[in-house]
Structure 1
Amino acid sequence: MGLFSRLALLFRIRTRAALEKAEEPGAVLDYAYTKQVEQIQQLRRAIADIATNRKQLELQQTQLLNNVDKLTSQAGQALRLGREDLARQALQRKELFVPQLHNYERQIAQLREQEERLLQMEQDVATRIEVFRTQKEMAKVQYHAAQTQVKLRESLGGISGEMGEIHLAMQRAQEKILTMQARANALEELLEQGVIGEQRSLGAGDTLDRELQRIDMQQNVELQLQAMKEQLQLGGRYTQPKQIEGPTSFLE
């Protein structure tokens, strides 16, 4: 398992509880990005520690090299003074430092190799985090855009429902208006035909009352006509016939 996979696993374990409570994808992505930044910061601190250790070894190596150079110089000076014993002693001490020099070189080389490897890893992780950051921001924009569309469509859905109810109410109102107009037209037509006026003039009388009145009128007309004929046969001057009262209604 690579370092990035281990970091991702650690991230999933530590953020599991937070992710269960989080509901907004934007907050989850920001949290994931923050955790990755923390991981790469830890990686950079590790690189800095390795570099510090390498520098310390290089300083110690430099001091040891100075001591070796000093012993070499002292051995030459002792020979020039005819003190071969001192020269031999200086060279012996010098040889004791040689294994330490090799050890420093080996450790420094290992630290330098490890540092270069971590630096390369840090660059790869940094690139991935930057890609993740770009994708995160894009995802957040897409989420907020989708959220806005959902809210807009929900709002439009509510407006559509209200408009549907308004449309139905308008239809009912139009139907009532058409019904009233039809009724008004029908009443106007009945008034023009005299049906309603005749009913009002007759009041509350029934069919029998109307028939008896009609008979009375006819009888009155016949009596007046007969009287006029008799006057004409007598040769008298024509006078206005006296109004003959009709028979009294049976219902009075």
Structure 2
Amino acid sequence: MTFSSRLRVIFRSKASRTLDRLEDPRETLDDSYEQLVRMLQDVRVGLADVATAKKRIELQGQEMGARHKRLADQAQEALNQGREDLARTALERRSLLEGQVVSLRDQYSTLARQQAQLQDNERRLAERVTAFRTEKETIKASYAASEAQVRANEAAAGLGSQMSDVGLNLDRAKDRIAQMQARAAATDDLLASGTLNDLTAPPDADLERQLAGGATSAQVERQLQAMKDAGPSGARGTAGSRDAGPDAWLSIGQGPQGH
């Protein structure tokens, strides 16, 4: 595998892992759950605001009711004192106040309906959030289990991004070993031929290697001539005498034995 091919495989592996993280359904579910929780919080804030406004109107209506009763009492007291003009003024203010109470009561009824609707929405949304949280955790657990199973199966089958990295490392190691072996063999040939000089070898080591090679060649020629002089029967007898016995190997390379 070439260097560029390895780079492409590594890039695809890294990109695949990045996309897997970006497309993780667990993160998507968590984001959706957080959105639902924020919606529920917004509904509860709106419900609190409506309830506060409704309570304010209720208190204002109670004050108006107390004033409405007080004006009726003042009108009656004015008539008892013979002050018809004051009684008329009290009754006029009481009538004006009744119109304000009607408007305030309409606002109170509207807020009461909004509060009831928000309470119903809050209850249903809270139930939905609870159900979604349960389902979310179930799905996340199932996804985690499936992911672990996939990783285990890929590891057992030698697949997956990590195993691909292991395979790439193994291929690179084999390439390096092959390169070093070829280089070692080439330098051995160059040293043997004298093209390269071994700086760590003793002086005249190249002459010694060449003399040793010549001595080996001379020994082979002498053995070959001896076998020719002895003839076929003599060569077989000599070889048989050397091969006899379990310790015959000890005499290998020591030349002919005397009889």
Q: Aligned AA for 1:108?
A: Y
Which residue number in structure 1 is paired with residue 33 of structure 2?
33
- Distance in 2 (CA, whole Å) between partners of 1:84 and 1:144 is 87
Which residue number in structure 1 is paired with residue 145 of structure 2?
145
- Distance in 1 (CA, whole Å) between partners of 2:84 and 2:125 is 61
Larger relative contact order (C-alpha < 8 A, sep ≥ 6)?
A: 2
Residue 81 of structure 1 deviates from its aligned partner by 1.2
**Structure 1 unaligned regions, length at least 5:** 1-18, 162-202, 211-252
Q: Secondary structure at the match of 1:77?
A: helix
Corresponding residue pairs, total? 150
- Distance in 2 (CA, whole Å) between partners of 1:72 and 1:21 is 76
Q: Aligned AA for 2:148?
A: T
Which residue number in structure 1 is paired with residue 177 of structure 2?
none
The yes-or-no answer on 1:130 pairing with 2:130 is yes
Residue 50 of structure 1 deviates from its aligned partner by 0.8
- Distance in 1 (CA, whole Å) between partners of 2:113 and 2:64 is 22
User: CA 1:111–1:204 in 2, change beyond 3 Å: closer, same or farther?
Assistant: farther
Which residue number in structure 1 is paired with residue 175 of structure 2?
none
Residue 204 of structure 1 deviates from its aligned partner by 7.1
Q: Over residues 118-157 of structure 1, what are the superposed CA-to-partner deviations in whole Å (9 max), with x where a residue is unaligned?
A: 1101111111111111110000000000011011111211
Residue 44 of structure 1 deviates from its aligned partner by 0.8
Q: Over residues 2-30 of structure 1, what are the superposed CA-to-partner deviations in whole Å (9 max), with x where a residue is unaligned?
A: xxxxxxxxxxxxxxxxx998332212211
Q: Aligned AA for 1:29?
A: L
Which residue number in structure 1 is paired with residue 115 of structure 2?
115
Q: Aligned AA for 1:112?
A: A
Which residue number in structure 2 is paired with residue 158 of structure 1?
158
Q: Aligned AA for 2:122?
A: E
Query: Identity across aligned pairs (percent)?
Result: 38
The yes-or-no answer on 1:79 pairing with 2:79 is yes
Which residue number in structure 1 is paired with residue 93 of structure 2?
93
Q: Secondary structure at the match of 1:26?
A: helix
Question: RMSD value over aligned CA atoms?
Answer: 2.8
- Distance in 2 (CA, whole Å) between partners of 1:21 and 1:102 is 61
**Structure 2 unaligned regions, length at least 5:** 1-18, 164-228, 237-259
Q: Is the 8 A contact 1:22 1:28 kept in 2?
A: no
Residue 59 of structure 1 deviates from its aligned partner by 1.4
Q: Which has the larger radius of gyration?
A: 1
- Distance in 2 (CA, whole Å) between partners of 1:93 and 1:136 is 62
- Distance in 1 (CA, whole Å) between partners of 2:31 and 2:106 is 42
1:18-29 alignment, distance < 5 Å: 22-29=22-29
Q: Secondary structure at the match of 2:23?
A: coil
Q: Secondary structure at the match of 1:82?
A: coil
Q: Secondary structure at the match of 1:112?
A: helix
TM-score, scaled to structure 1: 0.54
